[in-house]
Amino acid sequence: MTDQSMTCVLDGALVSPPPIWLMRQAGRYLPEYRKIRQEAGSFLDLCYNPDLAAEVTMQPIRRFDLDAAILFSDILVIPDGLGIPVRFEEGRGPILDPVRDHEAVKRLDTEAVRSRCAPVYEAVAKIRAGLSNTKTLIGFAGGPWTVAAYAVEGGSSKGFGEIKAWMWRDPPGFRALIDVLVEATIEHLSRQVEAGADCVQLFESWAGVLPEPEFQCYVVDPTRRIVDGLRFRHANLPIIGFPRAAGHMIETYVSETKVSAVGLDTGVPMAQALALQRKLPIQGNLDPLLLVSGGTALRQRVEDLIGILASGPFIFNLGHGIVPQTPPDHVAALITMVRETAQVSSG
Ligand code: CP3
């Protein structure tokens, strides 16, 4: 048994008010984050410092009393651990030494992830030790397709020209990269669970850029292997999949990967959300920019979301991460709204 509202929902229970956490709940919109970030040096130095990573993970919990903490880290620690150096430049986002052929994949070191990421697992243990038992600790990793997109493009991309060119030109070589990422992801998430994570989320942020056959090969199949690999080691581990912008391919993703719950992006219509909720717990999908606006537009949408989705297993969240210009007061107001609206509609 658990006394965590979020793991109850992941188990299929209806909880009112619904548990709430927010993607990127620790980050630049918080002054206390900006202070620690400055002290830490680079963004990756912060990710690899267990004390500071634990501290910034706890900042939004202390400030807002959210129902879950998400490990402060990044999806790019896996490529960094594999031997694809990652750096973050102000205003440019991440920059990686690109991997573009089979020879480069053969040089990656799967074994190195667990030693390079040891400080990440140490952070998980510290967070769990300081977090109330009523709050869920979420571990995470990027989906293999999304991580591959950063590794092959060498950073953020709009067109995905390099990765798509390689994927179609040399399927065995590209598959070798996906295979390495699948193994590294199973290892990385298992270590987080062993250190104290209660559940994990797979961020497949670029799921939406693939045509259906490639979505099957490079999103659905690898995710299924990760889910199987994790459950082999940790039976019943709750796993949230977040196949962002995948439209109607979300149905296939859900039925074939066996994730425990699905995160819905802002573009998912309520009719589709309700249909999915008949199959599994759902999480989402408030527009992060509504949280920037606040006011009556925000209140109206929160009431709508709760009116429509809170009568089934539901975790309140955004449809994508909090943006840096979000006023922290709007986050506090959102949490109060969710808790009060749900009381009214069930009372
Ligand atoms: O949700 C949380 O609070 C946990 C922490 C978290 C971060 N990144 C911290 C972060 C999580 C879950 C991520 C996931 C992540 N990282 C994704 C998947 C989710 C998504 O947003 O689609 C992706 C694609 C990345 C890769 C990444 N990391 C990019 C593209 C960037 C730069 C973007 C930017 O806004 O500059 C990052 C940096 C990053 N990761 C920051 C934070 C708080 C900002 C870095 C800073 O403090 O300067």
pLDDT in tens, the chain (347 residues): 579 999 999 999 999 999 999 999 999 999 999 999 999 999 999 999 999 999 999 999 999 999 999 999 999 999 999 999 999 988 889 999 999 999 999 999 999 999 999 999 999 999 999 999 999 999 999 999 999 999 999 999 999 999 999 999 999 999 999 999 999 999 999 999 999 999 999 999 999 999 999 999 999 999 999 999 999 999 999 999 999 999 999 999 999 999 999 999 999 999 999 999 999 999 999 999 999 999 999 999 999 999 999 999 999 999 999 999 999 999 999 999 999 997 777 65
| pTM to 2 decimal places | 0.97
Active-site residue among 29, 33, 67, 74? 74
Regarding the beta carbon of 207 and ligand 1, being less than 6 Å apart is answered no
Ligand 1 lined by 245 (C-beta under 6 Å): no
- 10 Å CB burial of residue 334 (0-12, 13-18, 19+) is buried
- CB-count exposure of residue 331 (10 Å: 0-12, 13-18, 19+): buried
Would you say the CB of residue 23 lies under 6 angstroms from ligand 1? yes
DSSP structure class, residue 155: B
Please give the pLDDT value at position 1: 54
* 218 counts as catalytic: no
> Nearest-5° angle of CA 197, CA 200, CA 206?
145
pLDDT of residue 31: 98
Q: What is the pLDDT of residue 347?
A: 57
Residue 24 Cα to ligand 1 midpoint, Å, equals 7
Phi/psi of residue 74, nearest 5 degrees: -155, 155
Strands 261-263 and 199-204, sheet pairing = unpaired
Task: Give me the amino acid identity at 109.
Answer: D
Is 203 a pocket residue for ligand 1 (Cβ < 6 Å)?
Answer: yes
Q: Output the residue whose Cα is nearest ligand 1's atom 20.
A: 205
Tokens 């429509």 belong to 308
Cβ of 24 below 6 Å from ligand 1: yes
Ligand 1 atom closest to 321 (CA): 21
Q: Are 22 and 211 in contact (CB under 8 A)?
A: no
